[in-house]
Amino acid sequence: MKKIFVILGIALLSAGAVSAQNFESATNKAKEANEALVADNAQAALDGFMQAKAEAEQCGDEGAAELVESCKQGITLAQNKLANDLIDAGKLKEAIAQLEQNVKTAEEFGMEEAKTKAAEKIQQLYQAIASSEIKAAGTDKENRAAHYTEANNYLDLLLAAEPDNGKAWLQKGQVNSALGKKDIAIAAFEKAKELGLENDAVKQLSNIFVKEASGFLKAGKYKEAIASALKSAEYKPNANAYKIAGVASQKAGDLKGATEYLSKYLEINPNDAQIKAAVDALKAQAK
């Protein structure tokens, strides 16, 4: 029986020695990782903190738990630094993937503040990518639709996380208007209007309907042209809408309507001699 206790004692001493060695190794690796982080070597820092954490978790020494917590903080900081490096390099989509990992890690470690900051940065990148794609669409005519579609995808991601972002709703309206998705564009502009961007949203809504009215007029659909033009003017009184409504009314044989709408046009553009002459002629016909 005594021999068994002696052997057990030797085993415990060996375990204690190994544990002490592991703690010392973990501490050294954590210090090296911290130095790497200060030196802007985020990947080396991340690898070091993860190795140090794994070793510290195997230790029973006093202070090991504290070292583990320090390593967790170091891991989240290193992941965030890697994301920032990608942002600085213009690799925004790769940065999002890195930040998503950062969110998962912070959640696993119970670090709510780090999780929130990473999530907020992801939303900022959604906005940045969408804006960049919209800008690119303005110069890349051949791939314009592809840029607008990509912008719309990132705006949807942003709005899923931040549904009260009026600017994002306004951009979503612009993108879908450009893609010919009228109903989606109108709904987005209406939402932007609700969220305080009334002037910009109303202008865009008015433009949608005046363009539609112009198309109907060219196609000889005078009733539809008048309806769309008046809808445009309902959002924002504008000369183009009243002119289209007036011309469409005249072509449809509604001289009273033509006089009314072209007169409203002249209230905005009083120096248009051609339209003034047309209104005078319409009034003379009505007598």
The answer to whether residue 131 scores a pLDDT higher than 50 is yes
As a whole number of angstroms, the distance between CA 68 and CA 71 comes to 5
Contact by Cβ (8 Å): 213, 246 = no
Alpha helices in 138-165 (DSSP H): 144-161
pLDDT at 286: 72
pLDDT at 247: 96
Mean pLDDT, residues 267-284 taken together: 91
- 3-state percent helix, strand, coil for the chain, nearest multiple of 5: 85, 0, 15
Handedness of CA 82, 84, 86, 89 (dihedral sign): negative
- pLDDT digits over 172-228, tens only? 999 999 999 999 999 999 999 999 999 999 999 999 999 999 999 999 999 999 999
The answer to whether residue 278 scores a pLDDT higher than 80 is yes
pLDDT at 17: 46
pLDDT at 60: 67
Q: Which residue has the higher pLDDT, 127 or 287?
A: 127
The pLDDT > 90 percentage for the chain reads 84
Residues 6+ apart with CB under 8 A from 20: 61
The answer to whether residue 170 scores a pLDDT higher than 50 is yes
Chain-centre distance of CA 197, in angstroms?
17
Residues 6+ apart with CB under 8 A from 21: none
Mean pLDDT of the chain: 91
| Helices 239-251 and 222-235: angle between axes, nearest 10 degrees | 160
As a whole number of angstroms, the distance between CA 177 and CA 194 comes to 18
pTM: 0.83
- pLDDT digits over 232-268, tens only? 999 999 999 999 999 999 999 999 999 999 999 999 9
Confidence class of residue 15 from pLDDT cuts 50, 70 and 90? very low
As a whole number of angstroms, the distance between CA 210 and CA 230 comes to 8
